[in-house]
Amino acid sequence: MSISRLGPLTSWHADWKGLRVAVLGLSVTGFSVADTLAELGADVLVLTEHAAEEYATLIPVIGARLWTGPLDAAPQELIDFNPEVVVASPGFSPTHPLIEWTQSSDAALWGDVELAWRVRDKVVRPDGTPADWVLITGTNGKTTTTRLTASMLMAGGLRAAPVGNIGTPVLDAVRDPSGFDVLVVELSSHQLWYLGLQQGSERLSPYAAVCLNLADDHLQWHGSAEAYRQAKAHVYDHTRVACVYNKADLATRAMVEDADVIEGARAIGFDLGVPGPSDVGIVDGILVDRAFHEARRTSAFELMTVPDLEVKGLAAPHMAANILAAAALARSLDVPPAAIHDAVKAFTLDPHRIQVVARNGGVTWIDDSKATNPHAAASSLAAYPGAVWVVGGLLKGVDISELVATSGVRAKAAIVIGVEREAVVAAFERHAPTVPVFEVDTTETEQVMVQVVELAAGIARDGDVVLLAPAAASFDQFASYSDRGRKFHAAVTDRVGTGDAGDDDFAASDGH
């Protein structure tokens, strides 16, 4: 594909007509890509192994073509189409046969986020400029921090939308006729890998960005821990104003130090300690901002207090860190401290993040199904040492041994679920041999949590906690982490009722 054809395609108003684009995947993201390109007048071929009936019906309506079938090699339809650009949904890994085929061809390879950046000027602000972008990634805490940041921006009077990996495709927000001042974009490591392929002068350049933390995850997709780290680091590429990083996580600091940013961009640190002149942090139980105070060498803005967070059930250390990261991003956009306080005061967490399901018979049942990797589960176990721990699922190539050795060893018992139970059980045998381990070996999805709850009810006693914090993905046995959590809720309710658990009984977890 010649650079001369793609080079000018950096605006909604550029000439996209007739551009041959193959779209890989037809989920929510894939459809948003196909719909956008069809609206732009491109020649669009969508390829997917399976198409939901709704999408299969809509593809010809929008003026695109659909091919379904095996994707273990480039189908003849794709070869004959000879695409100039291939836009892949985030699920397609670097070693997928179609990605390898694309990279060996003359076609450019994009993700949906690059396409969104190129056409971001469809709807502009009153001054004629498109919305600013704030990027958020990290192994854990992305969704919570994305929602917090968007809430703070809106409390400060800005039109903001949480988009991306959080569930709403960026392209849908870019095309929203109401327009926005800021898009708060949650990015997975998969999306960031595709962004790392960008070439040319019009690469994505966010107003501000953060990598919240880094721990091994998605190693099967990326191939190695180093490749995963490199993908995450792309969040800081070409940042214009603020590179927010976690002072307690040296990997994120190194990312900022190595990043190719726009001259003048500042590094803004956050952690739970006393902040330096370019940081946000906590002093004597008060969350403060020194980074954006004109007299930051001697003064700081008060944002809120730790007791404020306790009232909301948001005082867990990892949750306070998420709040500080979001506050740093919001302050970089001049959101007043009072608006940040108001946003947190009104904030509620999504379900399945250390959600109290029931308190009955002296036992508390907690759903943290969103803890889909060891880093997230460690935070849950730190909050509830000695819990009856429900663990297991799809490990995504991550070794769970360290988590068992450091956190699982304190569990009262472990109930192991999932298709990769053998690795989890072996980790307990090696690193926590005194912890009783029970396996749920049913292959019936509807029975997994029923058996979990029956086992847990026989183990837990007055004062105990039963904690669903799987440290693994859910797709081996459930449709999603939400589905896993809902089935846990249902089984608990059927077995023990809800007791005095209330709707406001939420704390925090940083699941991926």
pLDDT in tens, 59-92: 999 999 999 999 999 999 999 999 999 999 998 9
Query: For 237, which DSSP code?
Result: T
**DSSP secondary structure letter of residue 236:** G
Query: What is the spatial order of strands in the sheet that 208-211 belongs to?
Result: 160-164, 182-186, 132-137, 208-211, 242-246, 266-270, 279-283, 286-289, 301-305
What's the pLDDT band for 499 if we cut at 50, 70, 90? Answer: low
Q: Which of 347, 470, 495 is nearest to 419 (CA)?
A: 470
β-sheet bridge partners, residue 209: 135, 243
Of the given ranges (38-52, 308-322, 415-429), which has the lowest mean pLDDT?
A: 308-322
To which H or E segment does residue 5 belong? Answer: helix 3-6
Alpha-carbon separation of residue 302 from 150, 269, 431 (angstroms) = 20, 16, 44
Give dist(CA 344, CA 17) in Å, integer.
Answer: 46
Q: How confident is the model at residue 443 (pLDDT cuts 50, 70, 90)?
A: confident
- Contacts of residue 181, defined as CB under 8 A and 6 or more positions apart, other chains included, come to 125, 131, 132, 153, 158, 159, 160
pLDDT digits (tens, 9 = 90+) for 126-137: 999 999 999 999
Task: Return the number of other C-beta atoms located less than 10 Å from residue 360's C-beta.
Answer: 18
pLDDT of 512 > 60? The answer is: no
Strand, helix or coil for residue 113 = helix
Residue 296 has pLDDT above 70, yes or no: yes
CA–CA gap between residue 165 and residue 168 (Å, rounded): 7
Higher pLDDT among residues 218 and 512, named by residue: 218
Region 177-182: mean pLDDT is 96
**What per-residue confidence (pLDDT) applies to 398?**
86
Residue 85's pLDDT is what? Answer: 97
pLDDT for 506: 32
pLDDT tens for 347-371 read 987 778 878 899 898 999 999 998 9
Give the per-residue SS3 of 350-394: CCCCCEEEEEECCEEEEECCCCCCHHHHHHHHHHCCCCEEEECCE
**503 has pLDDT over 80:** no
d(CA 385, CA 101): 49
Q: At 403, which amino acid appears?
A: L
> What band does 336 get if pLDDT is binned at 50, 70 and 90?
very high
Q: Cα(301)–Cα(291) distance, rounded to whole angstroms?
A: 9
The pLDDT, as a whole number, for residue 1 is 46
Nearest in space to 208 (alpha carbons), one of 116, 155, 135, 129 = 135
For the cut 80, the answer to whether the pLDDT of residue 202 exceeds it is no
Window from 334-348, 369-383, 393-407 with minimum mean pLDDT = 369-383
Residue 507 has pLDDT above 50, yes or no: no
* Pick from 29-33, 112-116, 255-259, 396-400: least confident: 396-400
Would the pLDDT of 230 be above 50? yes
Task: Give the per-residue pLDDT at 504.
Answer: 34
**Mean pLDDT, the chain, whole residue set:** 92
Phi, psi of 395 (to 5 degrees): -80, -10
Tokens 């837990």 sit on residue: 460
pLDDT band at residue 498 using 50, 70 and 90 as cut-offs: low
Query: Please, what is the Cα angle at 241 between 321 and 152, to 5 degrees?
Result: 45
* Amino acid 4: pLDDT: 66
CA angle 490, 491, 493 (to 5 degrees): 65
Contact 113, 164 (CB under 8 A): yes
Q: Lowest-confidence range among 193-207, 285-299, 426-440?
A: 193-207
